[in-house]
């Protein structure tokens, strides 16, 4: 796939979730060619209504990542697993390894991943996940996300793949719409909010900027 007259071409892994769907929609709004990757397209009706190409894929398979990403200008990693019967630690580390290997093989130069606010240090330098008051039941999922981030930090070095990980500074405002604005935050803030459409703007802006700092970055509405 070439970007051609329609602008850039992006591939969104985990396109069926709320953040993934918002990224697909924002990409199409900008006139990009968008490949939306999900495990089972049949479970995501309407995902291709905006003109995105919907395909089945496994983000933990380096060969499949390479095949799906070939010809694209950038990738977004919005895939996740959660709940009973899943292994988040294995998933996030396997996905990170597969993305580094697969995108590098496909010569895709840019990756924008979605992170968690629980991993963004607050003004005191402490990550919420490390606080004694952090709910124990949510710690494994947060640490699994952190393990995937460490894979990116350690294994993307020396490769042409540039990456950045964006996380809400606090939480998502699940009912809010698109305001068209956001700010980059120096640290996390539990009270900060951002809508999914505005978060998608930040994700796509990072692709357009094409200059990541290979780190976790926090964003909020204001």
Q: What are the pLDDT digits (tens) for 61-119?
A: 999 999 999 999 999 999 999 887 889 999 999 999 999 999 999 999 999 999 999 99
> What value does the mean pLDDT take over residues 165-176?
96
Q: What are the pLDDT digits (tens) for 197-214?
A: 999 999 999 987 756 578
The angle formed by the CA atoms of residues 53, 214 and 66, to the nearest 5 degrees, is 35
Enclosing domain of residue 153: 4-220
- Please enumerate in sequence order all residues whose Cβ is within 8 A of that of 168, keeping only pairs 6 or more positions apart, or say none: 117, 192, 193, 194, 199, 218, 219, 220
Q: Give the CATH number, domain containing residue 52.
A: 3.40.50.720
Q: What are the pLDDT digits (tens) for 100-111?
A: 999 999 999 999
Residue-level pLDDT at 95:
98
Q: What percent of the chain has pLDDT over 70?
A: 96
Tracing tokens 């990738």 back to the chain, one arrives at 75
Q: What is the pTM (predicted TM-score) of this model?
A: 0.94
Q: For the chain, what is the domain count?
A: 1
pLDDT over 50 (residue 147): yes
pLDDT over 70 (residue 215): yes
């Amino acid at each position: 796939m070439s970007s051609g007259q329609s602008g850039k071409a992006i591939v969104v892994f985990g396109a069926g979730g709320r953040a993934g769907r918002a990224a697909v929609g924002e990409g199409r709004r900008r006139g990009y060619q968008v490949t939306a990757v999900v495990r089972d397209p049949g479970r995501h009706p309407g995902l291709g209504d905006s003109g995105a190409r919907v395909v089945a894929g496994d983000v933990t398979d380096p060969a499949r990542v390479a095949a799906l990403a070939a010809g694209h200008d950038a990738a977004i990693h919005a895939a996740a697993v959660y709940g009973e019967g899943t292994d988040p630690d294995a998933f996030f580390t396997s996905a990170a390894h597969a993305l580094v290997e697969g995108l590098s093989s496909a010569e895709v130069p840019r990756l924008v991943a979605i992170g968690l606010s629980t991993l963004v240090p607050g003004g005191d330098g402490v990550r919420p996940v490390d606080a004694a008051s952090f709910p124990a039941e949510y710690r494994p999922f947060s640490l699994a996300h952190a393990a995937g981030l460490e894979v990116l930090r350690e294994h993307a070095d020396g490769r042409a793949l540039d990456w950045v990980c964006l996380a809400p500074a606090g939480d998502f405002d699940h009912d809010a719409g698109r305001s068209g604005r956001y700010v980059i935050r120096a640290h996390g803030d539990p009270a900060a909010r951002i809508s999914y459409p505005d978060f998608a703007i930040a994700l796509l802006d990072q692709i357009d900027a094409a200059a990541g700092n290979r780190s976790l970055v926090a964003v909020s509405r204001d």
